[in-house]
A and B are shown apart, each in its own frame.
Chain A
């Protein structure tokens, strides 16, 4: 079982200690191996921790400081795109900044006794989804492609090509495998067969029109107009569940 790194940040030292204890109780109850790091000042948080942080419980308001929880969240998001961010606060504000940093949940401080456990477990489940990989065989070597980074699969005769985001560029991986099998494996993970030769990751769809689909990186692929209505519905419902 991998060690989970949990960051807790709050300007109230009493609450900070209590929160760390509450989280420890939940982790012990579910036999989860984790290290809880507590900070009351964002400048004390080392960059190395931000990079390996799996989950963060952040207070939004730091009245006596020049920063707030959003600043910490932004910094965390820059260093670590997978971290699950949960804002813990007295006053929930559904703000556009929350969307910017992909906040997972908002937890009211007075609801912590009732909701912390469920929130933490859901967060860990979400983390597993974010870190899911898809194994492919190339030259008898198994390569695990991060599902989040796969843009799309293309069928080319008897092979399939996976186009994967890698450090800002797109890297193709060619391997043997019918697209229908890949579709069956990844349908539940947000992949959509928009055309006979293309299986697309819905996370990366920027625009979906009747004959064209545009993905991250301005990649334009042809779409099947016959199945457009049905698939567009699927895409919209999937987007609503994210």
Chain B
């Protein structure tokens, strides 16, 4: 049995070294260094734990080796802990953040404490019982199960966030299609009506009916309720999103304006840009909509060393707690994700950004690194 455990333990340590080194850039010296570091890390944790237990229990090397099952349980726990340590290091490298890290460490720490308490009860005896030994083994193995559960939960949460993002993108794209289709139909109708109107004005003038002609033209002008505008920044995505959102803003009586230079050099991912801009403008329109005073929305996008993005809108007073703004919306699954999505995209793109409410305006401003510098 001792031999079996010895080989299993060796396999666990080898796996721990591989996990530690996984993802190292494929250069021979980096791999060699990584392997060395991995072996040192695994050896330190495994042997460090054994030494720690020995000093805690006041056992000499001879006493420790004489307690066969006890020493096997402690050594295997040390090996499992080295695997857990290597796993945590690997996850930190791939972007595990505070909460998930703590969750990953919780079970190993508690199981280690439970194991030590169990072993402590056998301190005065020659060795632990076989039942206790197998309980220790099960506890050690359950560490691996717990890591697997935490990892799967994290993946599932990330997938959920991606799904929400995707859902938002699909929604935005559907709205764009509907908006484009509406514009196209309206344009066709306008062209058709324009010809008829011109003919009417022509006949009125030909018949010398200046007064009725003027009245008719006046009616036509009054009938043009929809503000006509377009956006031309050199970036089709920005043009489409801003145009669509500004149309929505005008329909709600919001005075919207845009300032931007040549944005063709933005190298941010298209889907992220769409979601970021859409969420910012949606939030601004929503905030403006609740304002009883002059409804104004100002959007600036300037590409120079980086991409400067600002959205400001008149708004009722809002409290900003760091990155959290209490939402006035009805609880709906996507709404809470709007601001979180904005922050997530900006964090992923290593942007510097801030929100604030001052002097009747809600202001958002960000500087997003961009490889290609802008012009104009």
Contacts and interface: CB of A to CB of B under 8 A. Distances in A.
Interface of A: 90-100, 105-106, 108, 110, 206-207, 232-233, 236-237, 239-242
A147 B166 CA distance: 48
B259 interface: yes
B305 A206 contact: yes
B310 A233 contact: no
Interface stretch (B120-128, B143-151, B228-236): B228-236
Most B Cβ at <10 Å: residue of A91, A93, A110, A237: A237
A233 B231 contact: no
Given A99-B259, A236-B366, A240-B364, 11 more contacts: A92-B227, A94-B232, A94-B259, A96-B262, A96-B376, A97-B376, A99-B376, A110-B221, A236-B367, A239-B365, A240-B300
B202 interface: no
A91 B230 CA distance: 8
Interface in B240-273: 242, 257-263
Nearest to B361: A241
Given A236-B352, A237-B356, A240-B363, A96 B261 contact: yes
A96 B263 contact: yes
A240 B232 contact: no
B304 interface: yes
B157 interface: no
29 contacts: A93-B232, A94-B229, A94-B230, A94-B231, A94-B233, A94-B258, A94-B259, A95-B231, A95-B232, A96-B232, A96-B376, A97-B376, A98-B259, A99-B261, A108-B227, A110-B221, A236-B353, A236-B354, A236-B365, A236-B366, A237-B354, A239-B300, A239-B310, A240-B312, A240-B364, A240-B365, A241-B312, A241-B363, A242-B300
Interface residues of B, number: 38
Contacts of B354: 233, 236-237
B85 to A, nearest CB: 33
B210 to A, nearest CB: 14
Interface of B: 221, 224, 227-234, 242, 257-263, 298, 300, 302, 304-305, 308, 310-312, 352-354, 356, 358, 363-367, 376
A96 B233 contact: yes
A208 to B, nearest CB: 8
Interface of B is mostly: strand
Nearest to B263: A96
Nearest to B256: A94
B363 A237 contact: yes
Going nearest first, the 5 A-B pairs with the smallest beta carbon separation are A240-B310, A92-B229, A236-B365, A94-B258, A95-B232
Contacts of B263: 96
A207 B366 contact: no
A16 B293 CA distance: 33
B260 A96 contact: yes
Contacts of A90: 228
Nearest to B233: A96
A97 B242 CA distance: 17
Contacts of A207: 305
Contacts of B242: 94
A206 B224 CA distance: 43
Given A99-B260, A236-B354, A237-B356, A92 B230 contact: yes
B367 A93 contact: no
Most A Cβ at <10 Å: residue of B259, B364, B365: B365
Nearest to A94: B258
Contacts of A237: 354, 356, 358, 363, 365
Nearest to B353: A236
A241 B300 CA distance: 9
A135 B262 CA distance: 37
Nearest to A108: B227
A106 B227 CA distance: 12
B312 A93 contact: no
Contacts of A106: 229, 257
B22 to A, nearest CB: 33
A156 B27 CA distance: 52
Contacts of B363: 237, 240-241
A105 B298 CA distance: 12
A105 B257 CA distance: 9
